[in-house]
Amino acid sequence: MRLKWESFAQLLSASVVVMSVGAVIGEECTAEGPRLLVSSSRNATGHWTVAIALQRQHAAPRPGNPDALQLEVQPTTTRCNGARTHALNVALQGQPLVGLGYEQVEGFGFYKVHRKAVIWESAREVCEKEGSHLVILNSEGEAAAITRLMKRHKVTDTNVFAGFHDKAEEGNHITVFGDDLENTGFTQWNPGQPDNRGNEEDCGAINSSTGKLNDVSCTKLASSYICEHIVI
């Protein structure tokens, strides 16, 4: 969860100043999460070329993927106190998620509850195919909102898969992005958890009645899961 998108159009604009008079600037600019890397150069015939690349922290947009974004660039020149400023207005437009079964949880982002039980790795793959990721809770507020979401969807599984695991090193829980679980902002475990029961619980879940974390088997448990769409 980062910032609210308009569920309808999901449009965000960013202004990127690329050049000012008398100076040649290749600036690196940030627009509310995704990074727009702007570089400019002069080619052999003396024409300016400005290249813009969109870099997102977690997921690279792929063609045909619901996560893909369209970039619309509109250059403008402003004259002000004798100086000219060239700006690029960049609009990023993504496909609406709502038709894909995602719903907005106000203040947190877009989520999809999958009630068809599968094992953790399959759940992770389904989310990735949808251009999202297994849910990662970042606050008590989000945990509470997700608990309400599960209730609303009448999720009956006690454990609902989430986007963390300790497959690489027992007890060292990391998110599906490789970040320490400690840094997510929400690390409340269900009482007595994580217990690595049977020495085989390396995958992450949320207890659907408490909204708190649990470690579960990656291969012996098929469960519901929630995909979270990165809100850029």
Q: Among 41-49, 58-66, 124-132, 148-156, which window interacts with ligand NAG (CB under 6 A)? A: 41-49
Residue 47: Cβ within 10 Å count? 8
- Using CB under 6 A as the binding rule, whether residue 80 contacts ligand NAG is answered as no
Q: Which two tokens stand for residue 188?
A: 């409340």
- Minimum CB separation from ligand NAG for residue 205, in Å? 8
On the question of a cis peptide bond just before residue 194, with omega within 30 degrees of 0, the verdict is yes
Q: Among 37-45, 74-82, 147-155, 170-178, which window interacts with ligand NAG (CB under 6 A)? A: 37-45
- Using CB under 6 A as the binding rule, whether residue 47 contacts ligand NAG is answered as yes
- Minimum CB separation from ligand NAG for residue 214, in Å? 5
First to last CA, the chain: 8
- Max Cα–Cα distance, the chain, nearest Å: 73
Nearest CA to 177 out of 59, 90, 29, 94 is that of 59
Dihedral of the CA atoms 63, 69, 70, 76 (nearest 10)?
Answer: -140
- Using CB under 6 A as the binding rule, whether residue 214 contacts ligand NAG is answered as yes
Q: Among 11-19, 50-58, 172-180, 207-215, which window interacts with ligand NAG (CB under 6 A)? A: 207-215
- Using CB under 6 A as the binding rule, whether residue 159 contacts ligand NAG is answered as yes
- Minimum CB separation from ligand NAG for residue 135, in Å? 17
- Using CB under 6 A as the binding rule, whether residue 198 contacts ligand NAG is answered as no
- Using CB under 6 A as the binding rule, whether residue 23 contacts ligand NAG is answered as no
- Using CB under 6 A as the binding rule, whether residue 190 contacts ligand NAG is answered as yes
User: SS3 of 4, please?
Assistant: coil
- For 127-156, the DSSP string reads HHHTT-EE----SHHHHHHHHHHHHHTT--
- Using CB under 6 A as the binding rule, whether residue 207 contacts ligand NAG is answered as yes
With contact defined as beta carbons under 8 Å apart, do 142 and 108 qualify? yes
- Using CB under 6 A as the binding rule, whether residue 76 contacts ligand NAG is answered as no
- Site for ligand NAG, rule CB under 6 A: 43-45, 47, 158-159, 190-191, 207, 209-210, 214
